[in-house]
Structure 1
Amino acid sequence: MSRAELRIKVENLVENVKSLCRFSQKPIIAVVKADAYGVGAMQVCSVLEGLKEVSAFAVACVEEGIELRKAGTKKKILVLGGVLKGEERAFVEYALTPVVSHREHLKVLEGIDIPIQVKYDTGMGRLGFLEELVKDRRVEGVLSHLSSPLDEDHSRLQIERFQRITKHYQNLKYVHMESSAGVIYHIPFTTHIRIGLALYGEKPMQNYPVELKPVLELRAKLLSVKTLPTGFPVSYSKSYITDKPTRVGVVAFGYADGLMKSLSGKANLFYRGKPLRILGNITMDMSMVDLTNTDAKVGDWVEIVGQNQSFTDLAKLAGTIPYELMTNLSSRIRRVVL
């Protein structure tokens, strides 16, 4: 039993994978770092592991890779976040593929006979070699990252730089640069696309050319329902005062669960398709909503994300990006695979 659930629609997740592959004509490296963007890496990988369209998984650090291996993941796992001293044994023991982006990473891996992939910084200013070519018999792949996919001029410049780099390599198994948004460029010389957000049905841009189905439903239960009189304060700092007798519900979901406090007074939750205004400040574990003209009762589910709004919709109201909302989802939210 749980007070809050993130429900994962497997059928739609699989369909999104197939749609992305059809559009790009390339297999997917599924990005499941940060607990699959908060969705649940174990649950997501258990579904994607059996799909021929998914060639590999990508995580941020060794610890995430180890967790997936212990959970039974068999496919290739790339560790995107570099290599630190002391991690070399884990790469061997758990058959993880390091992505090297600095000479120090290569030093750590000296004498270790495992496949490696090399990252190049073509205009992100984060991880990656600039113009220094890595000549190493262990190199099986090269990659880069588009910093601003909506900026076509900069993206084209990055693609050109990356293509010049790839020409110095032969017999690569993996060449990848396209992200969820980056698939719009149909880069002809890459072998894979590296996808995170779009897998989960969240569109990285308006007019996205790939038809995506919603994968996630986030909901929480009502803890209390009562009618407050006119002039009654609601939440911390008396941040809302009722202007008439108001039926107020307390939802078991707050900023500790991932509903950002900045959404106070801006966002709606939903009950059977009816929008419920959030009243006053969102608190750590609870949010208050206006239940006027509903028959909602204690124990009923209230929708936070689902049929009526996406993480992208909430992110716009919060002045952020859906990645931040999703990765802040609490571990106390039960992940349910449908």
Structure 2
Amino acid sequence: MLSWEQSPGIALMRRERAWVEVNLSAIAHNVQQIRRLLSDQTELMAVVKADAYGHGATTVAQAALHAGATWLGVATIPEGIELREAGIDAPVLVLGANHTPEQIRAIVHWQLQPTLCTPRQALIFADVLAQTQQPSLSVHLKLDTGMSRLGTDWQAAAEFVQLVQRLPKLQIDSVYSHLATAEDPNRTIAKQQQQRFEAAIAQINACGIYPPRLHLANSGGTLSDATFHYDMVRVGLAIYGLYPADHLKAVLDLQPALQVRARVTQVKTIPPGTGVSYGHRYVADQERQIAVVAIGYADGVPRNLSNKMEAIVRGQRVPQIGAVTMDQLMLDVSAIPDLREGEVVTLLGQDGNESIAANDWAAILDTISWEILCGFKHRLPRIAIGK
């Protein structure tokens, strides 16, 4: 029996309303660009958590691995399981903390690699593993060097690593930390974190323990300073073609991989004085031609962009007007002659010589591009292009 997605006509329907295009050639290009920054000894982890920042985890993971990534990073166990069920056998690091026996057994079953953040967590893992036939489990120990999030305090690193080393069935694969300000042009805090990380590693080495891998850098760290690279870098945002900060644009050439498009569902002419959408936050000052577009805040277009954003129609920017609604928004298309229902509107991406980036929306909303990318809901089909 055909699944709903495989039923006749569904492939066409995926572009009937609104959709996200993911350019796999851009993903491959970005991975290759990042690899050129790294030494041959430094591995690249493609971070594909949060459904690959809204791009589609399995397709992005496959494209990134084919282009030169060797590891994958996820936040949760179900995200790792999704990769395994898709037939991906590359090493997968679960970046989040897990503690329960059920979680640990799932990690073992699906051959994932967990992050251990505290001695207590390590003891729980050892206790559960003792009840299994698993000979050993590769684990990654996280230190807090200044992020104040997950991890054991860097000053207690030696004691933490020695404990894990003594516990049966736990095999240390790496020790790592996370930079809090890697994209900041002022590297004072990042360098302080690096110094703490290296001091912790020196303490660990003094105990006769030499972890196989050390890693510290996210996208910002990878692009900003080669001394942050160590044995592996964990890159998310840059793989998707966006820069953590504007001053890093000169480092390498990235291509945005995601485009958001939707169709016009109605075109109408409104007279002067006519209000548009809920609350009439826009009132026409003269006769206007407006287009209703089949995408809204339930799809991931932030309502706070109302009356502030633009879209691209036939290669020309046009303003969005009125409140963005749950499933639809309106554009002033007075400058576009003879626009018809069914034509395609670009919300993010390129059309002709015009382009709109996630950074543009983020600047309007005083947020970050990560949040914009992760906001597109699964109601929008992900369509891979540029394979």
Q: For this structure pair, what is the TM-score category when the shorter chain's length is used for normalisation? A: over 0.9
Q: In structure 2, what is the Cα distance between the partners aligned to 1:238 and 1:273?
A: 28
Q: In structure 2, what is the Cα distance between the partners aligned to 1:88 and 1:188?
A: 31
Q: In structure 2, what is the Cα distance between the partners aligned to 1:257 and 1:42?
A: 21
Q: Quick check: 1:72 aligned with 2:87?
A: yes
1:229·1:246 contact (CA, 8 Å) conserved in 2?
yes
Computing the radius of gyration over CA atoms, which structure comes out larger, 1 or 2? Answer: 2
Where do residues 7-22 of structure 1 align in structure 2 (5 Å cutoff)?
A: 7-22=21-36
**Which ranges in structure 2 are unaligned for 5 or more consecutive residues?**
1-12, 130-135, 166-170
Residue 122 of structure 1 is matched in structure 2 by 145
Q: Quick check: 1:178 aligned with 2:183?
A: no
Residue 245 of structure 1 is matched in structure 2 by 287
1:230 to 272, 282, 301: 272
Equivalent residue letter for 2:118: H
Where do residues 1-338 of structure 1 align in structure 2 (5 Å cutoff)?
A: 1-2=13-14, 3-25=17-39, 26-51=42-67, 53-85=68-100, 86-111=102-127, 112=129, 113-130=136-153, 131-133=155-157, 134-135=161-162, 136-137=164-165, 138-149=171-182, 150=184, 151-167=186-202, 168-169=204-205, 170-183=209-222, 184-187=224-227, 190-208=230-248, 209-294=251-336, 295-307=338-350, 308-338=355-385
Give the deviation of 1:276 after TM superposition: 1.3
Q: Secondary structure at the match of 1:199?
A: helix
Q: In structure 1, what is the Cα distance between the partners aligned to 2:367 and 2:229?
A: 33
Deviations 1:220-247 (A, max 9, x none): 1111111111111100011111111111
Q: In structure 1, what is the Cα distance between the partners aligned to 2:281 and 2:273?
A: 12
Give the deviation of 1:172 after TM superposition: 2.8
Give the deviation of 1:104 after TM superposition: 2.7
- TM-score normalised by the chain length of structure 1: 0.96
Q: In structure 1, what is the Cα distance between the partners aligned to 2:126 and 2:43?
A: 31
Q: In structure 1, what is the Cα distance between the partners aligned to 2:62 and 2:218?
A: 22
Q: In structure 2, what is the Cα distance between the partners aligned to 1:117 and 1:109?
A: 12
1:202·1:212 contact (CA, 8 Å) conserved in 2?
yes
Q: In structure 2, what is the Cα distance between the partners aligned to 1:299 and 1:108?
A: 57
Q: In structure 2, what is the Cα distance between the partners aligned to 1:89 and 1:101?
A: 18
Q: In structure 2, what is the Cα distance between the partners aligned to 1:49 and 1:203?
A: 21
Q: In structure 2, what is the Cα distance between the partners aligned to 1:7 and 1:283?
A: 22
Q: Secondary structure at the match of 1:116?
A: strand
**Which ranges in structure 1 are unaligned for 5 or more consecutive residues?**
none
Q: Quote the sequence identity (%).
A: 32
Q: In structure 1, what is the Cα distance between the partners aligned to 2:124 and 2:266?
A: 56
Q: In structure 2, what is the Cα distance between the partners aligned to 1:43 and 1:332?
A: 17
Q: How many residues align?
A: 337
- TM-score normalised by the chain length of structure 2: 0.84
Q: In structure 1, what is the Cα distance between the partners aligned to 2:122 and 2:301?
A: 41
Equivalent residue letter for 1:177: L
What CA RMSD, in Å, does the superposition of the two structures yield over aligned residues?
Answer: 1.4
Q: In structure 2, what is the Cα distance between the partners aligned to 1:94 and 1:206?
A: 39
Q: In structure 2, what is the Cα distance between the partners aligned to 1:256 and 1:188?
A: 39
Q: In structure 1, what is the Cα distance between the partners aligned to 2:271 and 2:332?
A: 13
Q: Which moved more, 1:232-241 or 1:5-14?
A: 5-14
1:49·1:74 contact (CA, 8 Å) conserved in 2?
no
Q: In structure 1, what is the Cα distance between the partners aligned to 2:145 and 2:290?
A: 53
Give the deviation of 1:197 after TM superposition: 0.5
Q: Secondary structure at the match of 2:88?
A: coil
Give the deviation of 1:34 after TM superposition: 0.7
